[in-house]
Amino acid sequence: MLIYGTNTYFRSNKVTQHGFCSLCNSYAKMRSFTAMPFLHLYFIPVIPIGSRKRSHKLCGKCNQCQAFEPAVFDSIITRLKDQSADAIVALKSGDTTFDSDDPNEAPIECVPFLHSVVDWLYASNNVAFCESMLSQLTEPECRYAQTMLRAALETYRGKPDDAINTYREASQIQQQSFQPHHARGLLLAARKKTIECIEAYRSAIACSTPDIEYQLRLELVDIQTAAKQYTDAAATFDWLLAAKPDLLSNKDFMKLVNKNKRKAGIA
Ligand SMILES: [Zn+2]
């Protein structure tokens, strides 16, 4: 039997981490690397079938990833590092936002920005840079930022239970932010700790603006139906339909609503 196919070879700048897949939403083990795609015969690379690409967070569950031209990826990372440095300076001087390079854009919130950038920096083999950011945030007013970043790093290191506790710590430092509750809820869902997960989502909703509340309730209704909490899910569906009446004409969404109503015994 002739064994052939395609694969990537000559991998460099390899990183293994845990994290949330942007394509299947699972919490999974992921690999990132720069490599060349080849046609292989008996697993020996024979013919190159493209240029080197950066595979960013190849998910162990769905086997998908984002792919970038290495030069494009490097320029993204360089820009994120520069902006992170600006965010750190702002936090250390007591500000909560920093100015974007684009004068037409609104100032950027430091902590949510850094929290999402750490994901990119970790996956691009810049863990030392992430740690140096953490070690700079020593002022008492930076404690929330430092705790959020520590929780993110614990998540990527495959320590979700530590991260859950650290996000709880962050939510106690800054009680009006939805982000630590939400991040904790996502990890609790991955750990199948449903009761605590729903409680974390409720805390996140209590701190959110209307737009964010809508997104949070969309996630919550999935968790409630998966946990067979059909009556609670029906209430969440009602809230979503009242917030966005356009959903009434979305057939897929209404199928979910009606299926849930039957299960809740209210159809
Ligand atoms: Zn995935």
Ligand 1 center from residue 143 Cα (angstroms)? 32
Ligand 1 center from residue 19 Cα (angstroms)? 10
Q: What is the dihedral sign for C-alpha 127, 132, 133, 134? A: positive
Mean pLDDT of 98-123: 94
Give whole-number Cα distances, 15 to 34, 37, 84, 127, 217, in Å.
Answer: 10, 18, 21, 10, 34
* Percent of all residues in the chain with a pLDDT value above 90, rounded to a whole number: 88
pLDDT for the residue numbered 231: 95
Ligand 1 center from residue 61 Cα (angstroms)? 5
Query: 97-98 and 108-109: which strand pairing?
Result: antiparallel
pLDDT for the residue numbered 118: 97
* Percent of all residues in the chain with a pLDDT value above 70, rounded to a whole number: 100
Domain ranges of the chain: 4-68, 69-157
Ligand 1 center from residue 186 Cα (angstroms)? 15
Residue 154: count of CB within 10 angstroms of its CB? 20
Ligand 1 center from residue 23 Cα (angstroms)? 5
Ligand 1 center from residue 18 Cα (angstroms)? 11
pLDDT tens per residue across span 22-56: 999 999 999 999 999 999 998 888 888 889 999 99
Mean pLDDT of 248-252: 95
Ligand 1 center from residue 91 Cα (angstroms)? 33
pLDDT tens per residue across span 53-103: 999 999 999 999 999 999 999 999 999 999 999 999 999 999 999 998 888
Ligand 1 center from residue 100 Cα (angstroms)? 31
Q: What is the pTM of this model?
A: 0.91
Query: 4-20 and 97-98: which strand pairing?
Result: unpaired
User: Shortest CA distance to 96 belongs to which of 87, 105, 104?
Assistant: 87
146: its two tokens: 């430092």
First-to-last C-alpha distance (Å) of the chain: 57
3-state secondary structure the chain: CCCEEEEEEEEEEEEEEEEECCCCCCEEEEEEEEEEEEEEECCEEEEECCCCEEEEEEECCCCCCEEECHHHHHHHHHHHHHHHHHHHHHHHCCCCEECCCCCCCCCEEHHHHHHHHHHHHHHCCCHHHHHHHHHHCCCHHHHHHHHHHHHHHHHHCCCHHHHHHHHHHHHHHCCCCCHHHHHHHHHHHHCCCHHHHHHHHHHHHHCCCHHHHHHHHHHHHHHHHHCCCHHHHHHHHHHHHHHCHHHHHCHHHHHHHHHHHHHHCCC
Mean pLDDT of 129-149: 96
Residue 197 has pLDDT above 70, yes or no: yes
Instruction: Report whether 89 contacts 98 (CB < 8 A).
Output: yes
Mean pLDDT of 196-206: 97
Give whole-number Cα distances, 21 to 52, 141, 241, in Å.
Answer: 22, 32, 28
Ligand 1 center from residue 200 Cα (angstroms)? 23
Ligand 1 center from residue 121 Cα (angstroms)? 19
pLDDT for the residue numbered 174: 95
**Surrounding residues of ion ligand 1, Cβ less than 5 A:** 21, 23-24, 59, 61-62
Ligand 1 center from residue 245 Cα (angstroms)? 31
pLDDT category of residue 267 using cuts at 50, 70 and 90: low
Ligand 1 center from residue 221 Cα (angstroms)? 21
Ligand 1 center from residue 95 Cα (angstroms)? 36
Ligand 1 center from residue 16 Cα (angstroms)? 14
Residue 4 has pLDDT above 90, yes or no: no
pLDDT category of residue 112 using cuts at 50, 70 and 90: very high
pLDDT for the residue numbered 7: 87
Ligand 1 center from residue 25 Cα (angstroms)? 6
Ligand 1 center from residue 75 Cα (angstroms)? 25
Residue whose entry in the numeric block shows the structure tokens 């750490």? 118
